[in-house]
Amino acid sequence: MRQIWERLERDLRAYRYAVAGLVVYFAVTRLVFGAFCPMVIMTGLPCPGCGLNRAVWFLLTGQFARSFSMHPLAICWLTLLIWFAGNRYVAGKRMSGGMLLALAGVCAATLCLYGYRMVTLFPHRPPMSYTGRNLSERLIPGYRAWILTLAR
């Protein structure tokens, strides 16, 4: 158990500026824009991972149907996270080729799912809904109407 904690501390020390930057980014974007995702902030469009955090939460709390409806690949992402953390912190190993291949596969599946969900769910079914008051909408006259016209 001590080795696990030491490995985790070593990573936190090594990436402390990145972690601090993410914390500041999260706080500022939540306060200013009410969102975390740069794609939502800039365009109002959902990103490929939209709903993933909520889906993982539902999964961890036993709400499997809600998790699947929020993001069907949440179980894959959670499995990869557990696999990575187990290898890195418990076994003390680096990322393997098999893990990279699995990550590439889940990324590809996520992008394919995103395309499907944008065609079938956008802009009116959460989490694939349009978010108003984004930067593009504020800066480009007619942006909202144009995006919602494209979605029909």
What is the pTM (predicted TM-score) of this model?
Answer: 0.89
**151 neighbors 69 (Cβ within 8 angstroms):** no
Tokens of residue 145, six digits: 């109407």
Beta bridge partners of 125: 128
Could you tell me the residue ranges of all domains in the chain?
Answer: 47-129
Please give the Cα distance from 59 to 69 (Å, whole number).
11
pLDDT tens string, the chain, 152 residues long: the values are: 899 999 999 999 999 999 999 999 999 999 999 899 999 999 999 999 999 999 999 999 999 999 999 999 999 999 999 999 999 999 999 999 999 999 999 999 999 999 999 999 999 899 999 999 999 999 999 999 999 998 87
Residue 128's pLDDT is 95
